[in-house]
Structure 1
């Protein structure tokens, strides 16, 4: 493990990690991140949310700097309000992958995040947003989901658990897409080979910071690649067992300011 003072890049997931259940940032978390900045380190959001769904939160965090969005498919410059890099999921491959999943488990409900700094989240009939506070546009037919370039597909099943659906999807989809599970009710198909780690690595390269100086926080299996890449991975108390199994430590829950607990230890106030 790197010495605490060596951490120059603090990578945090949002949902279930930095954010509380009501999608807000606590004063304690904001104060801890201010300590990070005062010490000369960089805070980097690394989230499954697409850039348009992250923009308001980044404003609360200062509104500048980089953010890794869309499970690593987007590198967003908050200060300039533009994507520096993005990769899309081929829509024909996405439709084929979705068909393969349904051949195994029956009908699923789907949504997509469109590519771009102003892309929409489209949901087909029957799909329920796992985060009701996030804006989405309901379309009349599944075919309408493929109208514009997309960064990922989100899946829900009427009765299978997220773990069960993700396991079946991985077997059915193969190399057509990367399957991730990023939160309750959130199983996703994204471009093959794209993970939070690939997006984090791209951002870190631009910042001139190596994995050995990176501390990462998360709560779900989609954070495992990020933990593998970073020097030290911290799982929340509310994290999925798969992430806890590979974490270097477990902190308090997102509701109990688990990120702040660690950052206050590693970045104490100046004497």
Structure 2
């Protein structure tokens, strides 16, 4: 374990954990100048910024370069710990392909045909999509394969699912009911229901990264927008949901900020740099920046 990081007294948290899509990123996949400036100021005060994203490492490298190109990043919903500066995975876990096929079969027995994609493991892993699957992020690169069996040609970190009729919430609810211990079911964004290795969440990846940095839950504030961020909020001392967040995440957040388009992350970081002593992380009171908490 690394030695604990020293940080300025006025920095309320030593570790700033942010989701990307729908949180730090705007809809055009960019980080605003205001957000970049806030992250730079809080880093200058001694805190560390950690990206915690559902995207696999190969799909996040260009964004990490824009954010400074150093440090650690939790990728693949917690299945990968990526050393940005060295360009290598420090840790990764794969989803057993037979278990993935079995889980898909159980889901399709309940809801009919679903369309699937996979993220391959590794620093150069591809995103493969079967016929009929539509990428929720059309700007992200993907390779279309001819049939489902082709998805399993290499080790994978997760499976992505879409249903032609059911909503994400409905599909995720059914999947959780029938998959059991075969995999962990998450919902990470519009059109993104995922199967990942059992027991792996953003919280497991965040805890591993924090341990490398010599930091703890009490040092951490986390930002997110979807139900896959709930474990991260449970682990961190303070969870901040975006105004555009899913209702399930808002229900467990300590605070609700502005939307990703309105620089909600920056609004909180700017406040942290100017306010006094940190409120007790388990005080239970939910405050909001610009909007009312539910």
Give the TM-score of the pair, scaled to structure 2: 0.90
Q: Pairwise mapping of residues 61-100 of structure 1 onto structure 2 (< 5 A)?
A: 61-100=67-106
Q: Distance in 2 between matches of 1:129 and 1:247?
A: 29
Indicate which of 178, 202, 213 corresponds to 1:207.
213
Q: Pairwise mapping of residues 162-201 of structure 1 onto structure 2 (< 5 A)?
A: 162-201=168-207
Q: Match of 2:181, SS?
A: helix
Q: Distance in 1 between matches of 2:42 and 2:90?
A: 24
Contact residue 11 and residue 46 of structure 2 kept, 8 A? no
Q: What does the per-residue CA deviation read over 1:13-65, in whole Å, with 9 as the maximum and x for residues that have no partner?
A: 00000000010010000000001110010000000000000100000001011
Residue ranges of structure 2 left out of the alignment (5+ in a row)? 1-8, 276-294
Contact residue 12 and residue 272 of structure 2 kept, 8 A? no
Contact residue 11 and residue 42 of structure 2 kept, 8 A? no
Q: Pairwise mapping of residues 1-271 of structure 1 onto structure 2 (< 5 A)?
A: 5-268=11-274
Q: Which residue of 1 aligns with 2:292?
A: none
Q: Distance in 2 between matches of 1:165 and 1:71?
A: 18
Q: What does the per-residue CA deviation read over 1:191-232, in whole Å, with 9 as the maximum and x for residues that have no partner?
A: 000000000000000000010010000000000000000000
Q: What does the per-residue CA deviation read over 1:171-205, in whole Å, with 9 as the maximum and x for residues that have no partner?
A: 11000000000000000000000000000000000
Q: Distance in 1 between matches of 2:166 and 2:100?
A: 21
Q: Distance in 1 between matches of 2:108 and 2:10?
A: 47
How far the C-alpha of 1:4 sits from its partner, in A, is: 6.6
How far the C-alpha of 1:5 sits from its partner, in A, is: 2.9
Q: What does the per-residue CA deviation read over 1:152-179, in whole Å, with 9 as the maximum and x for residues that have no partner?
A: 0000000100000000000110000000
Q: Match of 2:11, SS?
A: helix
RMSD: 1.1
